[in-house]
Structure 1
Amino acid sequence: MLDVRRLRLLRDLDRLGTIAAVAAANTYTPSAVSQQLAALEREAGVALLERTGRRVAFTPAGRVLLRHAATVLAALEETDAALAAVRSGPAGPLRIGAFPSAVRTVLPAALVALGRAHPALELLVSELDPAAVPAALRDRRLDAGLVHDYDVAPATADTDLDSVPLLDETVHLATPADLDAEGIADLRDQPWIMASPGTLCHEVTLRVCSAAGFTPRVRHRADDFTAVLALVAAGQGVSLVPQLAADRPPAGLRLITAPTRRRTRVAFRRGAAEHPAVTALIAALRTSALTFAR
């Protein structure tokens, strides 16, 4: 019988690429990970990995097991969801990851509604960058999390996770109030306030500006939208800001509709879609998001 924990380590190796990275992600030593994978090979009765010095590669049998491991892990999630569904109702810990602007806007009302409707739920929220949510779901540090992408920078599919739509947002061009501009093309000569390189917000700004025929000239870098809006209001530049982050803008700035939209989804492990706690969370978030959109 194959050990499920070892199957997860095999999936982590495919995702992370090295034994050392798998060890760090699971708080093991590299030696312990190697021993667990060797034990999985003995259980499978066939070589799963080829070792060349410090590098490892999957054998054809290893690739076959990887595909089936995804199915096995999803089936376990479905089983857990089915067992939870026969209990009296959503109960126990529900660990939620959400980005800052969602924590401030759509999440509080959803948490209140969940607490009233399902008092046996223990709601645990972590403020988390959407880029960190998939790993936290795979590592079982979260049960559900908010992720997003933009129409100009769509997310790639993740075979370990499922998700459902939550919110489709307007994205704004935030400019000082006294700046005469009607659209993105009018901002080509303006200084820009941009997120850190390597972030999704940074990439989206580059793509939107590129589509308008220019490269933004960066004056300031800030990853917190509250700071971004304060800098714009102070006349320090222009920026892209999604609707959730611009619901209460400071005085001194103007918001213009940008040629892109941000799409937020509720993500969870594959197979967990029917878990009562997850379905209750999705329903509460959708009600709150609808109220916010109105």
Structure 2
Amino acid sequence: MLDVRKLRLLRELAHRGTIAAVAEALSYTPSAVSQQLAALERETGVALLERTGRRVTLTLAARALAARTEPVLAALAEAEAELAAYRTGLTGTLRVGAFPTAVRTVLSPALVTLSRTHPGLELRVSELDPAAVPDALRADAIDVALVHEYDFTAGPDEPGLETEPLMEETVHLAALAAGPLRAHRAAPWIAGTPGTLCHTMTVRACEAEGFTPRIRHHADDFGAVLALVAAGQGVALVPDLGLLDPPPGLVLTPLATRRRTRIAYRRGHAAHPLIAAARTALHTTRTPPIPPAVGDRGKPGCPPDAPPPLERHR
């Protein structure tokens, strides 16, 4: 019978690409990962890895086996969740990952509710960019997470994971002067670090309007982004939850672009008591989108209505 632990290593190699990355994610040594995968090859009697120097690639047989591993791990997770339901009281550790604006606005009240409702629960929070969440969940580094996507950055479904909708926000153009997105095509722009969803969304939203933004500054904290806008350093796109304390003098123009937050967890874990408690707390205490303190209603001259819907890119 195939060893589930070895199958999991193969699954991780299919996702991460290198033995070193698998070893780092799962707290193994690279040699231990190599030994386990070699043992899996012997057990199956089929070549799973093609070795070229120090690099390895998966054979077609290995990719087929890795794909078959996902439903096996999901079935085991469902069995684990069913057994956990028989325990009395909710105890143990719940590890939650979330992006910065969600930590202070959405996650914090949910943590208060969880602590009061389940005092035996130990809560641990990690700040994670949504792009890092799938690997963290599959590696069992966290149990549940908050992720987001924009209209222009929706990605493919992640194998082995499930998500459910939590909330939706409006994205605003933050500037010192009124006008639709295309009116700021010549302005310098402020965006997130390249590789983040916020950076990608900014670039694609501008491209949908017929221009490529000239990005002068990169900042991942929306407070810093708004401070740069207020200092006349450029314009930026900011969702509702990034507008908690906007500096005075900003013009915030609501766009048709939306940011959607979802709850993510490993497939088969939805009914696990820990995950179910987290889901319930998040849905119960979720913070609705916060209207901007300045903008179309707070500064004369800013158009009262959002511009026409932008073309949606996926």
TM-score by length of 1: 0.92
Mark the runs of 5 or more structure 1 residues left unpaired by the alignment. none
| 2:248 equivalent in structure 1 | 251
| Amino acid of the structure 2 residue aligned with 1:207 | R
Give the alignment of 1:1-294 within 5 angstroms.
1-176=1-176, 179=177, 181-289=178-286, 291=288
* CA deviation profile, 1:232-261 (whole Å, cap 9, x unmatched): 122221100111111332222121112311
Q: CA deviation at 1:103?
A: 0.8
Q: CA deviation at 1:208?
A: 0.7
Partner SS state of residue 146, structure 1: strand
Q: CA deviation at 1:131?
A: 1.3
Distance (Å, rounded) in 2 between the aligned partners of 1:254 and 1:121: 44
Distance (Å, rounded) in 1 between the aligned partners of 2:198 and 2:114: 31
Distance (Å, rounded) in 1 between the aligned partners of 2:89 and 2:144: 18
TM-score by length of 2: 0.87
Contact 1:106 1:292 (8 Å CA) reproduced: no
The Cα RMSD (Å) is 1.8
**Distance 1:51-1:166 versus aligned 2 partners, 3 A rule:** same
Contact 2:173 2:237 (8 Å CA) reproduced: yes
Distance (Å, rounded) in 2 between the aligned partners of 1:17 and 1:247: 40
Q: CA deviation at 1:188?
A: 1.3
Contact 1:89 1:276 (8 Å CA) reproduced: no
Partner SS state of residue 28, structure 2: coil
| Amino acid of the structure 2 residue aligned with 1:225 | F
Distance (Å, rounded) in 2 between the aligned partners of 1:27 and 1:275: 25
| Amino acid of the structure 1 residue aligned with 2:133 | V
Distance (Å, rounded) in 2 between the aligned partners of 1:60 and 1:209: 40
Distance (Å, rounded) in 2 between the aligned partners of 1:212 and 1:60: 42
Distance (Å, rounded) in 2 between the aligned partners of 1:282 and 1:182: 40
Q: CA deviation at 1:135?
A: 1.3
Which deviates the most, 18-27 or 265-274? 18-27
Q: CA deviation at 1:293?
A: 5.9
Distance (Å, rounded) in 2 between the aligned partners of 1:292 and 1:171: 10
Q: CA deviation at 1:57?
A: 3.3
| Amino acid of the structure 2 residue aligned with 1:235 | G
| Amino acid of the structure 1 residue aligned with 2:44 | A
Which deviates the most, 115-124 or 46-55? 46-55
| 2:295 equivalent in structure 1 | none
| Amino acid of the structure 1 residue aligned with 2:97 | G
| Number of equivalences | 291
Partner SS state of residue 206, structure 2: helix
Which deviates the most, 258-267 or 45-54? 45-54
Contact 1:234 1:252 (8 Å CA) reproduced: no
Q: CA deviation at 1:269?
A: 0.7
Partner SS state of residue 164, structure 2: strand
Q: CA deviation at 1:117?
A: 1.5
**Distance 1:189-1:75 versus aligned 2 partners, 3 A rule:** same
Q: CA deviation at 1:166?
A: 0.9
Q: CA deviation at 1:148?
A: 1.0
* CA deviation profile, 1:121-180 (whole Å, cap 9, x unmatched): 21111111111111111111100011111111212111121111111111111112xx1x
Distance (Å, rounded) in 1 between the aligned partners of 2:206 and 2:60: 44
| Percent of matched pairs sharing the same residue | 61
